[in-house]
Every structure is written in structure tokens, then in C-alpha cells.
Structure 1
């Protein structure tokens, strides 16, 4: 109860701070925080699958890319500029692709599941890279800004650092709420049971395949939402978004944050993005910024070695003695 109380206080304080940041921070910092929140959504989509069922998916980047491409395709070929319409289209497209990939991939287990999701992701990468219909290796670009709404002949564009920041914040909060509700419901408890002992859950009447397919599809939909926000921010979708390296990055974010904890996934995304930003900045690192990849690799090794249970595990270990003293 004590840990939950502190967690609620921390979440409330973070949301208030982020809301205030939209009006107080310079554009550069808002831009970085927007990137953090987009990747936090992507990390949550991975955590939903990995943290409950223990399945390591190397297809999250593919769904991320599908969401981004859906935005550009809807605008270019169907002339859709409405924010809600393209956002819903990105989520539905990613969920549909996720359901198809999951329906086939989930018939395998362990390392074979990893290889099948990796194979599907690489197939989608090469389709995007080699198909002129979606821009080929150059990717596709938004021709116009997305409209938030139209009223009395006036159009409000989804542009500007503050607007994008607030859009990412609302989306992140929505994803966290949905994930918390799902995990605390019977659905989430069943998923954790399947992750612990799938045979026992099947013996008592549950259908593990259906539960895993459902959470896999939900994770793909959230990855598509992150792809939509990324495309709206950068104005483009590229095949590199779908590469297996991007899935590895998302997995690393979850590991850094602590597997099995939603807030850990958010913290892992923040640590990864901010560390990358700091080490590559000449203003902070000086001449060493030219070798930031080497420094980044060393930092990741040290983080994983020093935090075997991730950042969330470190915080919980630190809070436990305080909780006992309070009790």
C-alpha cells in the first residue's frame, strides 16, 4: 500500500510537471520530451507483451512503421487530413497487421517466436524499402499539415512544438490508463498466469493462444499510435523505422526500465533518449561528442550491469526500507 501511495504521488507530480512544461520550457526541450513520450508509448507496447506473457517480439518496429506509413498513405492517396481520422487509421492498420502476424507467430514458442516475428518485420521492411508505391528507400513525406479540427471555416493544424508535445502527452496518458485497466482486470491476471505456467492455465479452462493474440494485437495498435505521432512530428515515414535494430532499441528500453513494470518502460525510454541526447551534444560533451556511440555503448553496459532488475527494480529496492520504516 505504501509503495502504491508513493507511485500515485510520483505519477501525479510527473503529469503536473509535464503539463506545466508545455508553457514554460523552450522549444528544444519540448521537442526532446515529445520524442521521449513517443518512444515511451512504443516501450509500453513491448512491455504489455513481454512483461505479461514473457514473449520477446522483434516485430514492434514493424507496427511502428505501419502506423507512420498509414498516415502518409491516407493523406496522399485518399486525401485525408483530419487528425482523428489518420490517427484511427494508423492504429487500426497496425492492429490488423499485428493480428495477422500474431496469429501465425504465436503458433511457435521461445526462440522460434523471436525468429518468426523478426522474419515478418524484415519482410515488411523490404516491402517498404523496395516498393515505389510507398516511396521506396526514400520513404514518404506528408504533403500538408494534419488538421486538428475545422470550425466556422477555420482550420487548426496539428503543428508546432507545443501542440505536438500536448498531443504526445495525452496519447501517453491514454496508453498508460488502458494498460493499467487491462492488467488489473481478469484479462491481465490471466495473462500473467499464462506467462508463469501456460499448461496449468490451459488445464483449468483458459485458452492461452487467444489471450496472447489479444495482447499482441493491443501492443501492435499502441506501436501504431507511436508511429502516427512520430510521422506527425517529423512529417515523414521511412523504411528505417521498421528495421530490426529499432525493435532491439525498444527491447533495450524495457530492459533498462525493468521488465514487468509499466512505469519502468516509461523510465527506460526516458533514460535511453536523454542519454543519447546528452552524449551526442557538443555543448555538453565537447570533442567527445564525435565518439558518442562508443560512450553510449559503455553507458548501456554499465547500466545493465549495475541495474540487473532495471531502473524500476532499483527504485523499489530503495523504497522498501522506507516503506518498512513508515509502516
Structure 2
């Protein structure tokens, strides 16, 4: 029964997402298209964090760095679009955002993965804060105030300035990443990664180079987060250091835990639940965070495997 409910919710939710833009326009509520686009993008960021947190057991408190780097790469390329040929194109800006984020993740991971526990958490946070203050100091790109993009990236025949087209791009990217993540975590690499999460010493004794596996997962996670940042910059047409702040890392972590760590669709459910709760409570009171905090604690206590765990029978493979 629970398995049937899970299928109905997941497939019904996907069907609703597919028809949301025309449905919102028909109801005269077009702003829902933009709002859900933001949810899909943050869900993409949460999915990237879940790869290392839920499957690798790596508690990174600096994941916002890759989100912000991806956004700033797109913003800077847009800023210089009149000087640098082709930088306004999404086919250049998006891969560049993913590449720079991956390179930073490689450097961060190469250092932080030599530690564990609270030391790992603090090093990832320290790297994120370094990037945050670096962009705060860049006055040419707006400093603390951020910078406005001239326009959304050009994507050939796809008009990203149209909210519906942008929404479907965000949805397709999220689904593609979920599919690739499913294939990855059910491959030999994913099995080793989960083994490392459970008992790294035993995996080393079996002959696996655990450091390399964790580093590859860390880089892949940063790359996907960079893509999410590139999409966020295009959605808002604005880039600021707030995307890099440690509180953003905390929000992504809450989405993963709330939705269900170590599950494919869990972070997506967590992103929707977190942002809907935030939006609803903000309409009721300006001190909505005081209400949201205990509510999230209650949800986590009652659903220890997250929202996705409520829909999945015990012992069932994710």
C-alpha cells in the first residue's frame, strides 16, 4: 500500500510539474512558474549535496560555494559579453560554470578529504567563506551589492527569457541529473561509496582506494551544484555574495535531511517542502523562522528517514 502511495505521489507530482506552466497561465497565476523554477533549481543543488552527504557520509558545510561560483561565472561572462565573444551563450556559460566549480571542488576536496568529522566540516566551511569574501571584495562585479545581468543566457532556438521555456529547461536538467545519479549510485562506484559511508576502514582493508572514490564524488557534486548556480543566476538575472553565504549551505543540508538522505527523490521532496513552508509561514508572520525551526525538528523526529522514508517500506532499496 505504501509503495503504491509512493508511486502515485512521485508520478502524479511529475505529471503536475509537466503541465504547470500552461495550467498556471490558464488560471492567471503565471508567477507560480517562476516560483517552482526556483524550487527546481534549489532541488538540483540539494541533489548534488545528497551525493556526498547521503551516499558518501561527507558532511560538507560549504556547498553554497559551488552554487555561488557557478552563478558568478555566468554573471561575469554576461558582464563581459560585449568584450569576450560568445560568452552570452548558455552553451559556453553553463559548461564554464560547471568546470570552474568542479576545479574548486577538486582543490577543496583534495585538502578536506584528508580529514574527517568536525575537521572536515570546518575546512569545507572555511573554503566557502574564503570564496564568499573574495567576491565581496570584487568591486568591479558589485561587491557586497552584487551585480545585475544584462539578460539571460542565449540557448539557440530555446528562448530562456520566456519563463515557461526556462522552467522546462530547469525541469529537464533536474530529471537528467536524477537519472544519472540513479545510474551512478547503483553502479560499482555507488556501491563502494555507500560502503565507505558505512565503514571506510573495512573498505580500505578490501583494497579500495577510498580517498579517490570520495574525491571523485566530491568533484561531481560540486559540478552539479555549479550548474544549479548557473541556472539560479539566469532565473534572477542577478548575482550576489548571498548565494555563497554559509546559511545557504545550511538550507541545502536541511532540504536533504528533510527529504531523506541517501535517496534519489528525497532531496527534491525536501526542497519543495522547505520552500513551501518558508513561503506559507512568511505570509503569516515576519518571524517565520521561529516557527519553521521547531516544525522542521518535529518532522525530522517523526520521519527519521525523511519525507521519502514515509513513502518507502522499511528495508526497501532506494
TM-score, length-scaled by structure 2: 0.91
Measured at CA, do residues 50 and 273 of structure 1 come closer, stay the same or move farther in structure 2, by a change above 3 Å?
same
Is the Cα contact below 8 Å between 2:54 and 2:262 reproduced in 1?
Answer: yes
Q: Name the residue aligned to 1:64.
A: 67
Measured at CA, do residues 6 and 208 of structure 1 come closer, stay the same or move farther in structure 2, by a change above 3 Å?
farther
Q: 1:250 offset after TM fit, Å?
A: 0.6
Q: Name the residue aligned to 2:248.
A: 246
Task: Return the match for 2:91 from 64, 80, 84.
Answer: 84
Task: Return the match for 1:216 from 215, 218, 241.
Answer: 218
Q: Unpaired segments of 5 or more residues in structure 1?
A: 151-155
Q: Distance in 1 between matches of 2:131 and 2:251?
A: 18
- After superposing on structure 2, the runs of 4+ consecutive aligned residues of structure 1 that deviate more than 6 Å are 2-6
Q: How does 1:32-111 map to 2 (within 5 A)?
A: 32-77=35-80, 78-79=84-85, 80-111=87-118
Q: Name the residue aligned to 1:120.
A: 127
The count of residues paired between Structure 1 and Structure 2 equals 308
Q: Distance in 2 between matches of 1:175 and 1:183?
A: 12
Q: Distance in 2 between matches of 1:161 and 1:49?
A: 32
Measured at CA, do residues 290 and 59 of structure 1 come closer, stay the same or move farther in structure 2, by a change above 3 Å?
closer
1:308 aligns with 2:304: yes
Q: 1:53 offset after TM fit, Å?
A: 1.6
Task: Return the match for 2:287 from 285, 291, 299.
Answer: 291
Is the Cα contact below 8 Å between 2:45 and 2:228 reproduced in 1?
Answer: yes
By percentage of residues, which structure has more helix?
Answer: 1
Which segment is superposed worse, 11-20 or 244-253? 11-20
Q: Distance in 2 between matches of 1:52 and 1:172?
A: 18
Is the Cα contact below 8 Å between 2:6 and 2:311 reproduced in 1?
Answer: no
Which segment is superposed worse, 8-17 or 71-80? 8-17
Q: Distance in 2 between matches of 1:169 and 1:98?
A: 25
Task: Return the match for 2:266 from 264, 267, 271.
Answer: 264
Which segment is superposed worse, 216-225 or 257-266? 257-266
- Secondary structure in 1 aligned to 2:156? strand
Q: Name the residue aligned to 2:155.
A: 148
Q: 1:4 offset after TM fit, Å?
A: 7.1
Q: Name the residue aligned to 2:20.
A: 21
How far does the alpha carbon of each residue in 1:145-200 deviate from its partner, in whole angstroms, 9 at most, with x for none?
321216xxxxx531132122111101110110111010011110010111111111
Q: Distance in 2 between matches of 1:98 and 1:263?
A: 24
Is the Cα contact below 8 Å between 1:145 and 1:157 reproduced in 2?
Answer: no
Q: Distance in 1 between matches of 2:244 and 2:286?
A: 26
Is the Cα contact below 8 Å between 1:83 and 1:158 reproduced in 2?
Answer: no
Q: Name the residue aligned to 2:257.
A: 255
TM-score, length-scaled by structure 1: 0.88
Q: Name the residue aligned to 1:172.
A: 174
Q: Unpaired segments of 5 or more residues in structure 2?
A: none
How far does the alpha carbon of each residue in 1:263-282 deviate from its partner, in whole angstroms, 9 at most, with x for none?
1111111100011111112x
- Secondary structure in 2 aligned to 1:290? coil
Measured at CA, do residues 145 and 265 of structure 1 come closer, stay the same or move farther in structure 2, by a change above 3 Å?
closer
Q: How does 1:127-142 map to 2 (within 5 A)?
A: 127-142=134-149
